[in-house]
Structure 1
Amino acid sequence: MIEVKNLVKSFDDKVVLEDISVTFEKGKTNLIIGASGSGKSVLLKNIVGLFKPDSGDILYDRRDFINAHRDLKTDIRREIGMLFQGGALFDSMTVEQNIKFPLDILTKMPEDEKLDRVNFCLKRVKLENTNKQMPSEISGGMQKRVGIARAIVNSSQYLFCDEPNSGLDPITSIKIDRLLAEITEEYQITTVIVTHDMNSVMEIGEYIMFLSNSHKLWEGNSDEIMHSGVQELDEFVFANKMMRKFRDQ
């Protein structure tokens, strides 16, 4: 579980996040949605420690992340897996080397155990026998699955995904969504996904948080979002529907 309490973040004189409080539960797919510039990515970067908030608290299973001493902060970071928007695989590394990278830098695990773990994760994302392929030799959807394998290879307790379906076709996007949901439930991970994809929202949105103009305006699940009664959210949903309809024509 991750708890964010009264978080405020500004850049120069512009407030980007204003008094944000939210709880992301373990074993659920937690989604952050909102228009461009609403503060989604800034919130994510504050939670993982890339930005330091002006005020507020961030707790990882009741451990104070912001004010933690160096060793505790390092321990928490070892429990975090990240799936980046573009996949962010190392072009010069094989699939196996990409997935093994977190184990190389964060653990002292023997090499044979690392390879066993890599192969386990490859099997879990249905990419067996791709170990020696380069990122350029596999599809965009496969690259995203390699990114997921790399994010969970260190037995992550917290998984953060930034626009995981960016650049993917609708069918592949659904497969990535379902894979993330399966892994979240299977390993009881606290998963937080930043997305603007309404297909993802409706498919796997067990908890959804809507940001607009630096504020949290709504929270709920995929069954409730169509009846939110929040004008800004209704407009966001409608705009996404129209964009998807135009794209699919």
Structure 2
Amino acid sequence: MIKIQSITKSFGERVILNEISGSFEKGKPNLIIGASGTGKSVLLKCIVGLARPDYGQVFYDGRDFYGSDSEERVEIRREMGMLFQGGALFDSKNVEQNVMFPLDVLTKMPLNEKLDRVNFCLQRVGLENVNTKMPSEISGGMKKRVGIARAIVNTPNYLFCDEPNSGLDPQTSILIDELIQDLSEDLDITTIVVTHDMNSVMGIGEKIMFLYKGHKLWEGTNKDITHSGVKELDDFVFANKVMNSLRSK
């Protein structure tokens, strides 16, 4: 479990996050949703340590991330897997080399064990016999799956996904959502997904945090979201339904 308390972050005089608190549960997808510019990605960066909050705490299974010394923070970071918005694959490396990269950097595992682990992870995300292909030779959806394989290759306890369906068609987005949900359950890890895609929300939103202008306005499940009683959330849901309807025409 990941728990955050009173996370506050400003850039200059602009308050991006205003005392955000909540918890993210193990074994299920935890979604952070909201319109663009509402602080979702900044919150994720504060959670993983890419941006330090001005105030507040982040706990990884009871370990105070920002209250720890540098050595313990490094150990916590070793337990993280990250899927970036664009996939962030190395163009100069093939699929196998991309997935193996965290093992090269973080472990002293023998090459044959690395290859076994890479092949297992590629098989787990539904990609076989693509080891030698370059990122330019595979589709956008395949790149995201390679990114997921790389994120789980080091057997993380925590998986973070920033807009995993960005730029994907609806059918591929569903496949990515289902893969993230399956991995969260099968590996029993704490997964946090930043998204503004209502299809993802309704499909895998077992735990949802809604941000609006840097404030947490609502927390619940996809079963409760349509009768939240929060106007800003209702407007967000309606706007997304309209956009999805226009895209399908």
Q: Give TM-score scaled by structure 2 length.
A: 0.99
Q: For the residues of structure 2 that align with 1:21 and 1:184, how far apart are their CA atoms? A: 22
**Partner of 1:48 in structure 2?**
48
| Partner SS state of residue 242, structure 1 | helix
**Partner of 2:27 in structure 1?**
27
Q: For the residues of structure 1 that align with 2:202 and 2:29, how far apart are their CA atoms? A: 11
Deviation string, structure 1 residues 157-207 (Cα, Å, up to 9, x no partner): 100000000000000000000000000000001000000100000000000
How far did 1:36 drift? 1.0
Q: For the residues of structure 1 that align with 2:182 and 2:36, how far apart are their CA atoms? A: 28
5+ residue gaps, structure 2, are none
**Partner of 1:66 in structure 2?**
66
How far did 1:70 drift? 1.4
Aligned pairs for 1:196-235 within 5 A: 196-235=196-235
| Partner SS state of residue 88, structure 1 | coil
Aligned pairs for 1:142-157 within 5 A: 142-157=142-157
| Partner SS state of residue 132, structure 1 | coil
Q: Which contiguous aligned blocks of 4+ residues in structure 1 show a shift greater than 4 angstroms?
A: none
How far did 1:148 drift? 0.3
Q: For the residues of structure 2 that align with 1:161 and 1:201, how far apart are their CA atoms? A: 14
Q: For the residues of structure 2 that align with 1:144 and 1:42, how far apart are their CA atoms? A: 21
Q: For the residues of structure 1 that align with 2:106 and 2:199, how far apart are their CA atoms? A: 35
| Partner SS state of residue 161, structure 1 | strand
Q: Which amino acid aligns with 2:194?
A: V
**Partner of 1:57 in structure 2?**
57
Q: For the residues of structure 2 that align with 1:217 and 1:129, how far apart are their CA atoms? A: 46
How far did 1:67 drift? 1.8
Q: Give TM-score scaled by structure 1 length.
A: 0.99
Q: For the residues of structure 2 that align with 1:157 and 1:128, how far apart are their CA atoms? A: 25
Q: Which amino acid aligns with 1:104?
A: D
Q: For the residues of structure 1 that align with 2:120 and 2:71, how far apart are their CA atoms? A: 29
Q: For the residues of structure 2 that align with 1:36 and 1:130, how far apart are their CA atoms? A: 34
How far did 1:63 drift? 0.4
Aligned residue pairs total: 249
Deviation string, structure 1 residues 58-89 (Cα, Å, up to 9, x no partner): 00000010121111111100110000111000
Q: Which amino acid aligns with 2:180?
A: L
Q: Which amino acid aligns with 2:35?
A: A
